[in-house]
Chains A and B, each alone.
Chain A
């Protein structure tokens, strides 16, 4: 243990050994295994040619910290970056939320500029609309295949027309380019998307990520021979960050129609102003009005308590086809300590550099709360990982007071430093064989700042066995797409912890949940539809306080949903008629939810090894039909009027940094105790010698 800690604090020694090794070694350990492979010493240096830029500006060039790009011809005259405002309207209906985000770009300079703004959206978001407002004109965007959209955009830019292109960099990361903004002109981009509401432990919740976690791309990942460098696969994902308090502003308006009587509406991230009219949806805004977009917006609402299980089916017809959303919420079982099943828990904690600051403290708190939950009948282990992974015990050990105390001490001294080699940690957590008689669980505490997401998902899928993997997101802006997908591949759930104040309550909810699987072996069938198309295809176990949510594409004769499974180890079943359930209310947007899930399912197959080329036409067809943004489709809107003359300069608009990240707020800590150590050390040695030499008194 001591050694591992020592090595991680002595990284400088490693290259020394590498260069002292026999000749082949330096080639095997490239001096700089960055995102791109480094040339071996002595070889001709081949500069990796950046793909010929199709547009004058890519986020790849807008490296972290980039605020302004100048025009080459005009080096000396400086100009300010356009200001950006975010105005968000969200309409909640039952389990679906439709949002419109309005972004305003303003060119404060006397030059023609192009802007790039990379922005995150909720990871379950399905984008379906784009409207561009320039002065009094409104231009509505169309979904095109990605390359076609890019071509249209470039052509417009060349011709001096206004154009906006929204691309999906990652499933939850989008970017907007705004071309040819004239001097002192403002352009408004309006984006529409849809997401599903979360329901957990009797609470509905919704999040709007308003800033990004800087992401880490592991350097040690091997390149297959002949394959493209990894950096190009990961794409353009790190936007520039602004300094404290100087980022895009955020305004939030939520219209909340939960469909059930509500007990409370609250937010852990922002102060709310709630207006509840006697009839109709509640109106929620930020009490402070406009705020800096430096943290995720979180909204929670809880229905009035009820003893009966709630279930609902919403139906929708789109393009001649029927779609349905099924929701079953099991009643909360009373907590019974005797009913607790002994389990084997492996805690995995991310101690990489991106976790430094408040994040690592929250993670330690979360782990300590987990350790205190253990019962002597349980077995457990702890794994930490940064640049490499270390486990506390060689295999899981009984949770005796002594072992738990040892783990507590170990967790207490963990520091955040180094890379994010998640695979080695999973390797340690998932390689030991899970004992059959125990409920085996892996609890993964991280901020998800990792670039090789697909590798991690595949590893989980292949090595999970009979276990469940639960992710715990730490920090003010964790990578939610990663967290949720990892939990899905791990057949577990995702818990988000936004602040230190939340750690205890959120983690306790998770531990309660982990000790109580409420429903298992679930199945759904539809009367009048022999081959129902359902998502998810593999229904997860329901832990305490989780609903069953199924999206379906219905056959023409479908009349009734039939749900069965084991509840508290007893057979359970429920019937839901399609036309009458939940008042048979018409719900808009279910077909998009279905399409989005269908695409996700297809993309999972790519992750798990199927060739992307065979699935691409299917994904593209679904996206075009349901008017969805995806990996292969883009939204593009082009103004038909040529509006500006003269060359454009590019500017990247900085994002606000996540709150609590050590990169802003204060200046860095730049003092070491070295001189004091030397002085104190020398004084002590001298004192010791003097004391020793002094003749004895007698």
Chain B
């Protein structure tokens, strides 16, 4: 009798735990799909295209690593509420369409899990909501304490991606961060299209300034 109750309790606990874990993954994936609509509005000139009416955030950029099938809508603010839905632009760092260091944070379990695979020299693309597509190249990776924000304020035009470290630590909330530094490359080449990796077809257009603009089409 006791064992039966124990079994039942254990089963419920297990299912609940499974549901919670799947929910975090599900929300992260689903949100990115839903954010496309807000992204389209943002590209059309809406400065604060809220993905849902009560959101405290809006899309500011799109991060592309076609070779790894990464295509993420980046939200304003790296708060707990925005990071659940996508990578967040760390307030205080340069805006994606402006010179300076652009810093983005993302969850190590979902959107920014791919950071652990990035190698120096690998290309990244950042498409600001207001501005032309920019090409970056991974320069270095490092592991720092969360209180060490010097990398966020690094001089020069760059892109800094931040996520929690270690990637497989069982308990969240550790003090370490994995930081990827990328350098802005002038005169960007068009991003290679990976087969089927991008949900949306990508239209590449060379502008008169030698920069590349991507438009999205269904």
Contacts and interface: CB of A to CB of B under 8 A. Distances in A.
Interface of A: 8, 10-12, 14-16, 29, 31-36, 38-39, 45, 47-48, 63-70, 75-76, 78, 214, 216-217, 219-220, 231, 241-244, 246, 352-354, 356, 386-388, 417-419, 421, 654, 657, 662-689, 691-692
Contacts of B147: 665-667
B213 to A, nearest CB: 15
Nearest to A50: B45
B31 to A, nearest CB: 5
**The 4 nearest A-B residue pairs measured at CB:** A387-B54, A684-B14, A677-B21, A681-B17
Interface in B11-48: 11, 13-22, 24-25, 27, 30-31, 34, 37-38, 41-42, 44-48
Contacts of B88: 668
Nearest to B27: A12
A262 to B, nearest CB: 40
Q: Which of B27, B41, B44, B147 has most chain A Cβ within 10 Å?
A: B41
B14 A674 contact: no
14 contacts: A38-B41, A78-B155, A78-B157, A243-B153, A388-B54, A418-B55, A666-B149, A668-B79, A669-B164, A673-B20, A674-B109, A679-B170, A688-B11, A689-B7
Contact of A214 (B78, B83, B91, B100): B91
Given A39-B44, A671-B108, A678-B22, A15 B52 contact: yes
A69 B98 contact: yes
A651 B3 CA distance: 70
B10 A419 contact: no
**Interface bin, chain B:** 35 or more
A666 B53 CA distance: 29
Chief secondary structure at chain A's binding surface: loop
Given A66-B95, A668-B105, A683 B14 contact: yes
A64 B10 contact: no
Nearest to A60: B47
Q: Which of B11, B21, B47, B78 has most chain A Cβ within 10 Å?
A: B21
Contact of A691 (B6, B25, B79, B157): B6
Contacts of A241: 91-92
Contact of B7 (A36, A214, A665, A688): A688
Contact of A68 (B11, B37, B100, B149): B100
Given A31-B37, A34-B50, A668-B78, 7 more contacts: A39-B41, A47-B44, A216-B56, A356-B79, A418-B81, A671-B109, A677-B18
Contacts of A675: 21, 109, 168, 170
A671 B174 contact: yes
Contacts of B47: 34-36, 63, 231
A662 B47 CA distance: 23
A673 B89 CA distance: 22
Interface string B122-165: 00000000000000000000001011010011011100001110
Contact of A674 (B25, B106, B144, B146): B25
Nearest to A694: B3
Contacts of B171: 673, 676
A68 B100 CA distance: 7
Contacts of B90: 663, 667-668
A47 B34 contact: no
Nearest to A64: B91
A31 B38 contact: yes
A36 B17 CA distance: 41
Contacts of A11: 52, 54-55
A234 to B, nearest CB: 11
Contacts of B156: 78
A219 B17 contact: no
A75 B110 CA distance: 35
B145 to A, nearest CB: 9
Contacts of A421: 54
B169 interface: yes
B22 to A, nearest CB: 7
B163 A670 contact: yes
Contacts of A15: 34, 37, 51-52
A244 B98 contact: no
B43 to A, nearest CB: 9
A672 B100 CA distance: 30
A678 to B, nearest CB: 4
A371 to B, nearest CB: 27
B120 interface: no
Contacts of B181: none
